[in-house]
Amino acid sequence: MEAEASGGAGSAGRTRGQKRLDHILERIPVAREQLLAAIDDLAPSFSVSAIQGAAQSGDPRERNKVAVIERELDVLTAYLEELASRGLAEAQRHDATIRAEGPPWERLAALQVISKATATRLQNVKDMRNELAHAYPPVSWRSLHQAVEALLDELDSYKVKLADWLERQGALPR
């Protein structure tokens, strides 16, 4: 019962890193669902003009719609990056790969877990997310829209590919 409370079914005997990977894999669908709900709340079609209209609205509830999208983009980007970093560390711990320098997405691409294009897109999403904190509208509206679109395009495939690779390496037994 305690194993289920602390990390889900099958978490007994897992390392701290494996438990964290399990947690991230469980939380990604929840954050994805929240992002999609926030997009749906914003407008029937997710567009730069919908973001701009809500962001410039005098109604704080409308502005909050954009804030929720920004927050969920941030959460999902952090989860995907942590999944890569912790996944690589766990694979190293299981001698399934060697320690290497470089950003985690580039390392996964070098290992052919994900494509180079996916690694580049995810790095661009991270960079765009960071840009949002410093950019002035309308650049930030376009950046937010582009980052969300790219993240949603890559999210499901990335999660499946990385989880499958970790399982094949013995780093995340199911």
Amino acid letter for position 67:
A
Mean pLDDT of 113-141: 86
Task: Among 13-17, 29-33, 44-48, 91-95, name the most confident range.
Answer: 29-33
Hey, is 58 helix, strand or coil? coil
pTM score of the predicted model:
0.88
The answer to whether residue 173 sits within a structural domain is no
Cβ atoms of 57 and 63 closer than 8 Å: yes
Tell me the pLDDT tens digit for each residue of 27-80: 999 999 999 999 999 988 899 999 999 999 999 999 999 999 999 999 999 999
Residue 64 CA to its chain's centroid (Å): 21
Burial of 94 (0-12, 13-18, 19+ CB in 10 A): middle
So what's the pLDDT on residue 3? 40
Tell me the pLDDT tens digit for each residue of 104-124: 999 999 999 999 999 999 999
Give CA–CA dist 143/51, Å, rounded.
11
The answer to whether residue 154 sits within a structural domain is yes
The answer to whether residue 4 sits within a structural domain is no
Write out the residue range of the structural domain in which residue 95 sits: 14-168
Burial of 38 (0-12, 13-18, 19+ CB in 10 A): buried
The answer to whether residue 128 sits within a structural domain is yes
Select the more confidently predicted residue: 164 or 101: 164
The answer to whether residue 37 sits within a structural domain is yes
Tell me the pLDDT tens digit for each residue of 142-168: 889 999 999 999 999 999 999 999 999
Mean pLDDT of 74-103: 93
Cβ atoms of 110 and 91 closer than 8 Å: no
The answer to whether residue 1 sits within a structural domain is no
- Chain position carrying tokens 């999660």: 159
Cβ atoms of 97 and 91 closer than 8 Å: yes
Number of domains forming the structure of the chain: 1
**What is the C-alpha radius of gyration for the chain, rounded to an integer number of angstroms?**
18
C-alpha distances in Å from residue 117, one per residue of 17, 110, 124, 155:
27, 11, 10, 13
Q: Residue 6: which pLDDT band, with cuts at 50, 70 and 90?
A: very low
Amino acid letter for position 95:
D
The answer to whether residue 126 sits within a structural domain is yes
So what's the pLDDT on residue 136? 64
So what's the pLDDT on residue 44? 85
Cβ atoms of 72 and 31 closer than 8 Å: yes
The answer to whether residue 47 sits within a structural domain is yes
Mean pLDDT of 131-149: 81
